[in-house]
Amino acid sequence: METVFSPTVTDSVKSATRDAQKLGQDVKGEFKDAVSRGRDIAGHFASDARTAADELSTHAKETLIEGRDRASRAVGRVTEYADNNTALVTVAAFGAGLLLGYLVTRRS
């Protein structure tokens, strides 16, 4: 089958086709490189986020332990005070009960 185009046009079309294919391959390579860099960045971000979360978790655990220890010491001091001042604690509890009873019955 004979072509209707001149050899110059045919060569120009072939050259344009090769250039388009090369451009397509270049774009594909650049896209793969961009995807690869994006994955690396996402991996680093995830790693940094994990590290920050681990540090925050460790700090929260330490704070919880410290708070629990402080509460335990406070309970120990209150218990010791109550043991040493039984009469005073009894009178204070009785007074608090009277005040609470008065407030509850007054609102009714």
Distance CA 33, CA 28 (A): 9
Domain boundaries, the chain: 12-107
Model confidence over 1-42: pLDDT tens digits? Answer: 456 667 777 788 888 888 888 998 999 999 999 999 999 999
Q: How many CA atoms lie within 13 A of 105 on its CB side?
A: 6
pLDDT of residue 12: 84
pTM: 0.48
